[in-house]
Every structure is written in C-alpha cells, then in structure tokens.
Amino acid sequence: MVDSATAPPTERVHETTAGPRAENAPRRTGASRAVGLLRAARRTLRNVEQEYAHGEDRPLRGYLGVMSMYGGLTAAAVAAGRLTHATLPNRIGAGDVVLVGIATHKLSRMVTKDPVLSPFRAPVTRFEGQSGEAEVQESPRGHGFQHAAGELLTCPFCFGQWVATGLTAGLILAPRVTRAVLTVATAKAISDTAQLVYDAAQKATMHVPA
C-alpha cells in the first residue's frame, strides 16, 4: 500500500480530483431521475389528453393552468387574511348571500358578454355576433392555455365561480369596500332587468291593435 504523502504526483492528483466527482455523482443521478420523472409525467398527460379528447380540441393542460391560477389567487387571499389577521365569520348573513349572488350574476355576464369589455377578451376569443340585449357572442380561439382562457372568458357560468370567490373573500378582507361593489353591481342588475321589462312592455304595446 502506497502512503499518500509518498505517492507519485499523478496518484495524488487522481485522489484529489476523484473526491468531488464522487460527491457530485449522486447529485447528477438525482437530477437525471427528476428529469426522467418529469418527461414520463408529460408523456402520461399527453396520452390522457389524446384519449380523452377523442379527436376534439380539449386542452386539458390549459385547464390545469387555469385551475392553477384560480388556486394561486385563492391562496393569495388566504395569505392576505393571515397577514391582516382577518378571521372567518361564524356565518354570512342571508342578505350578503343574496347580494353576492346577484352581483356574481351581473359581474360574470359583464366580463364575459359586455361589448365594451371585448378588448380584454380579444387575445383569447373571436367575435361571432350579437347575443341578446347589449351582449356579444364570442368563441375561444387558439390552443392550449389560450383556448382554455378563452372558454373561461366566454362562459358566465364558469367565470361566476371566480367572481363569487373574489366577492366572498372581499367580504372577509375588506367588507366595507366589497359591500359598496356589491351595491353597485346589484343596482346595475336591477336596472338592467327594469330596462328589459320596459322594452318588452313597449314592444307589446306597439303590437296591440287600436
């Protein structure tokens, strides 16, 4: 056995360089395994998406992205509540539930159907025509996340979940401001309903024979 102090220079160099390489080997192995698992997960998701879609354009990965955004915003609201020491109420009053319901209906339709807000939807939607009173009909375009976002922003039923979550979080984090928003949205909903009733009554009067 050759002592390291008396070993030739070439052997001492081999000993000093072999140590770090041996330490880095497990790291490279762990990174390779992680990359392999990631690739396998992508292949699995791609196969599931193809089998589920059955030839149709169903962007499952885009939906996952949209759900991740929703989860992230919800987590941010929870974090804000912790930072501000906001506490969950034992119950939410029936009046607030009614206001949130009416406001959710109105705001979700405004975001997904209002012609004036179409510039915000344009990157992920395509104009199809008019739909109802002061509303437009649009369809999602593109692929992947763009298509999924387009579906969300053209579906008042889908977007209503986001609005209801935001308004409920607002009642806990900033109740006074949120109730002001609820009042405006509810008043707008009542006004729109009155406009539709008036318009229908006016049209019915025009068709009544003298």
The secondary structure element, H or E, covering residue 1 is none
Say what the pLDDT of residue 34 is.
83
Residue 117: which residues within 8 A CB-CB, separation 6 or more? 110, 111
The predicted-structure confidence for 110-167, as pLDDT tens digits, reads as follows 999 999 999 999 999 999 999 878 899 999 999 999 999 999 999 999 999 999 999 9
pLDDT digits 0-9 by tens, 5-21: 555 555 444 444 445 55
> pLDDT at position 160, please?
97
Please tell me the total number of residues recorded for the chain in this structure: 210
What letter represents residue 11's amino acid?
E
Cβ neighbours of residue 63 closer than 8 Å, sequence gap 6 or more: 148
Question: In this predicted model, what pLDDT tens digit does every residue of 187-208 receive, in sequence order?
Answer: 999 999 999 899 888 888 876 6
Q: Is the pLDDT of residue 2 over 50?
A: no
Per-residue pLDDT tens over the stretch 41-83: 878 877 887 788 777 778 888 999 999 999 999 999 999 999 9
Domain boundaries defined on the chain: 8-56, 58-206
Longest dimension (CA), the chain: 122
pLDDT in tens, 73-117: 999 999 999 999 998 889 989 999 999 999 999 999 999 999 999
Determine the distance from the C-alpha atom of residue 61 to the mean position of all C-alpha atoms in its chain, rounded to a whole number. Answer: 13
List the beta strands (DSSP E) in the chain.
Answer: 125-130, 136-140
Q: What is the mean pLDDT of residues 23-32?
A: 65
173 has a pLDDT exceeding 80:
yes
d(Cα 115, Cα 109) in Å, to the nearest integer?
A: 11
pLDDT at 42: 79
pLDDT for res 47: 80
- For residue 13, the model assigns a pLDDT of 47
